[in-house]
């Protein structure tokens, strides 16, 4: 019996994602000037206001208020009519020193003996239904919004777009879990009130709103989606046909949005950040946390394991769980579920034992192997932490060192956990 599965994504201008990006930008700036900074930064955004809270232990100073303003402007909140604008919004900081009770369980003389920064369980997932080993519905949802943001910044044919947006994709699968077709696509995008009513009558207002909604729906179907589909491999393009149901701004006009429409908080989009509802989630958010917090580093390590196992041909899809106790070096356990798709003659528990012999899951080793003490996190905070392209870039940071503005250029590797650099080791261990 065919079944349907749905995933959603939200844009960089969504209130929760604004908060995530501010938190990760602050983290990056601390790591740029002190790689051993301990950061747990939470952000809240609402009409005209940003509030920062959390704990930081660092040997450097950064201007967190200016960082927040820069992020907001880069996202595109640059107009007073949005009721949230980078240069004029209030920014309140309630950041304070990290508790020494927590820190003493983490920092050790030997980095290899570093304890986990918290307790909890983290999950990694991978599937062979896409080239980046991500669930297809989430991958498409991200691509739709990345392309929508690109169109907004081009400001050519579509001039009315504002930064806040959401997408959702529903895919029909066969009994053997193979994607058959795209059933439904939902796109909700904030926009200018670019068609004014002829007068104040309800009929005139209704007509103006209907005309705006029709224009937006036409542009989504005729401009946005062809650009998205053109990026996809041929076997995915075939899933698109004329029978797709589109819901574009289904409630009508969407002028009031961003933090003026809804308050935003760091860590409220953990399913968007990971696997779109596939696999599992341990509950811990990522953004604003330095890698000593295993909520983040453990989840990246689990994804690295899962992706390399699928890429090596151990199974068609796999879920990997790791768990930790605060201050303890070794993980509490490693769990594997191949959903019956294993291609090796082993049980899932036997596969898990093999995994423990291939991947070192001590927190300090994860930090070292995945190069997590670098300022690499702002890029993760919108359009998903997983399934992204590993790449080396140079990033520039600034701080006031009391002698003037200091500039620091740092070459970093982004999304190291997406590398398939353990495939040969996995194949050797499993005899593939």
pTM of the model: 0.96
Per-residue pLDDT of 196-205, as tens digits, reads: 999 999 999 9
| 63 pLDDT above the threshold of 80 | yes
| Per-residue confidence (pLDDT) for residue 358, from 0 to 100 | 97
Question: What are the catalytic residues?
Answer: 14, 16-17, 42, 55, 166, 254, 262-263, 268-269, 289, 293, 295
In Å, the largest CA–CA distance within the chain is 75
Mean pLDDT throughout 305-323? 98
pLDDT, mean over the chain = 95
Residue 66: is it exposed, middle or buried by C-beta count within 10 angstroms (0-12/13-18/19+)? middle
End-to-end CA distance of the chain, in Å?
A: 33
Residue 395 marked in a binding site:
no
Residue 38 marked in a binding site:
no
Residue 353 marked in a binding site:
no
180: tokens are 């058959």
Residue 139 marked in a binding site:
no
Mean pLDDT throughout 210-231? 97
Q: Express the helix, strand and coil content of the chain in percent, nearest 5 each.
A: 35, 25, 40
Three-point CA angle 265, 364, 382, nearest 5°: 30
d(CA 198, CA 411): 55
245: tokens are 């149901």
| Per-residue confidence (pLDDT) for residue 111, from 0 to 100 | 72
Q: How confident is the model at residue 1 (pLDDT cuts 50, 70, 90)?
A: confident
| 192 pLDDT above the threshold of 90 | yes
| Per-residue confidence (pLDDT) for residue 105, from 0 to 100 | 56
Q: From edge to edge, which strands make up the β-sheet containing 179-191? A: 3-10, 161-173, 179-191, 245-248
Residue 55: is it exposed, middle or buried by C-beta count within 10 angstroms (0-12/13-18/19+)? middle
d(CA 122, CA 321): 6
| Per-residue confidence (pLDDT) for residue 97, from 0 to 100 | 85
| Per-residue confidence (pLDDT) for residue 107, from 0 to 100 | 63
Per-residue pLDDT of 275-306, as tens digits, reads: 999 999 999 999 999 999 999 999 999 999 99
| 165 pLDDT above the threshold of 70 | yes
Residue 76: is it exposed, middle or buried by C-beta count within 10 angstroms (0-12/13-18/19+)? buried
Three-point CA angle 174, 180, 181, nearest 5°: 140
| Per-residue confidence (pLDDT) for residue 99, from 0 to 100 | 66
23 Cβ contact list (under 8 Å, min separation 6):
41, 42, 43, 266, 287, 288, 381
Residue 96 marked in a binding site:
no
Mean pLDDT throughout 62-82? 97
Residue 37: is it exposed, middle or buried by C-beta count within 10 angstroms (0-12/13-18/19+)? buried
Rg (CA), the chain: 23
356: tokens are 């423990």
Residue 307 marked in a binding site:
no
Provide φ and ψ at 249, rounded to 5°. Answer: 45, 60
Angstrom distances, CA of residue 47 to CA of 76, 83, 84, 228, 325: 15, 6, 6, 32, 39
| Per-residue confidence (pLDDT) for residue 108, from 0 to 100 | 56
Quickly count: other Cβ atoms within 10 Å of residue 222's Cβ.
10
d(CA 120, CA 134): 24
Residue 269 marked in a binding site:
yes
Residue 237 marked in a binding site:
no
Mean pLDDT throughout 310-337? 96
| 112 pLDDT above the threshold of 90 | no
Angstrom distances, CA of residue 164 to CA of 10, 12, 208, 212, 246: 8, 7, 21, 17, 19
Phi/psi zone of residue 67: left (φ > 0), alpha (ψ -120 to 50 degrees), beta? Answer: alpha
Per-residue pLDDT of 14-35, as tens digits, reads: 999 999 999 999 999 999 999 9
| 98 pLDDT above the threshold of 80 | no
CA 92, distance to chain mean position in Å, is 25
Residue 14 marked in a binding site:
yes
Local structure of 141: helix, strand or coil: helix
Q: How confident is the model at residue 116 (pLDDT cuts 50, 70, 90)?
A: confident
Sorted by where each starts, the structural domains of the chain and their CATH numbers stand as 3-8+136-256 (3.30.300.10), 120-127+294-430 (3.30.300.10)
Quickly count: other Cβ atoms within 10 Å of residue 229's Cβ.
16
Per-residue pLDDT of 376-412, as tens digits, reads: 999 999 999 999 999 999 999 999 877 788 999 999 9
Residue 42 marked in a binding site:
yes
């Amino acid at each position: 019996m065919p079944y349907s599965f749905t995933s959603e994504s939200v844009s960089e201008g969504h209130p929760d994602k604004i908060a995530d990006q501010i938190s990760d930008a602050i983290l990056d700036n601390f790591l740029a000037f002190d790689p051993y900074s301990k950061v747990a930064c939470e952000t809240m955004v609402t009409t005209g206001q940003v509030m920062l809270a959390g704990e930081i232990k660092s040997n450097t100073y950064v201007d967190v208020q200016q960082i927040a303003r820069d992020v907001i402007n880069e996202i595109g909140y640059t107009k007073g009519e949005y009721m949230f604008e980078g240069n004029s919004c209030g920014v309140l900081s309630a950041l304070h020193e990290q508790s020494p009770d927590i820190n003493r369980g983490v920092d050790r003389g030997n980095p290899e003996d570093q304890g986990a920064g918290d307790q909890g369980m983290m999950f990694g997932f991978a599937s062979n239904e896409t080239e980046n080993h991500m669930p297809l519905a989430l991958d498409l949802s991200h691509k739709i919004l990345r392309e929508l943001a690109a169109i907004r910044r081009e400001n050519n044919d579509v001039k009315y777009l504002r930064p806040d947006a959401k997408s959702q994709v529903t895919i029909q699968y066969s009994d053997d879990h193979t994607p058959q077709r795209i059933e439904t696509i939902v796109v909700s995008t904030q926009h200018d009130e670019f068609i004014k009513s002829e007068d104040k009558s309800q009929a005139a207002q209704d007509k103006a709103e209907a005309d705006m909604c029709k224009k937006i729906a036409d542009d989504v179907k005729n401009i946005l989606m062809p650009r998205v589909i053109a990026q996809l491999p041929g076997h995915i393009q075939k899933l698109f046909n004329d029978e797709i149901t589109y819901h574009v701004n289904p409630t009508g006009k969407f002028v009031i949005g961003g933090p003026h429409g809804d308050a935003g908080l760091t860590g409220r989009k953990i399913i968007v950040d990971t696997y779109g509802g596939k696999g599992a989630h341990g509950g811990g958010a990522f953004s604003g946390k330095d890698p000593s917090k295993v909520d983040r580093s453990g989840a990246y390590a689990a994804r690295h394991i899962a992706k390399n196992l699928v890429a090596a041909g151990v199974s068609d899809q796999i879920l990997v769980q790791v768990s930790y106790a605060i201050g303890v070096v070794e993980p509490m356990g490693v769990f594997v579920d191949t959903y019956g798709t294993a291609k090796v003659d082993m049980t899932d528990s036997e596969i898990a034992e093999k995994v423990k012999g291939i991947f070192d899951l001590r927190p300090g080793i994860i930090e070292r192997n995945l190069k997590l003490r670098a300022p690499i996190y702002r890029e993760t905070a919108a359009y998903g932490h997983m399934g992204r392209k590993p790449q080396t870039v140079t990033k520039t940071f600034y701080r006031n060192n009391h002698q003037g503005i200091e500039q620091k250029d740092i070459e970093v590797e982004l999304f190291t956990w997406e590398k398939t650099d353990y495939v040969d080791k996995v194949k050797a261990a499993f005899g593939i």
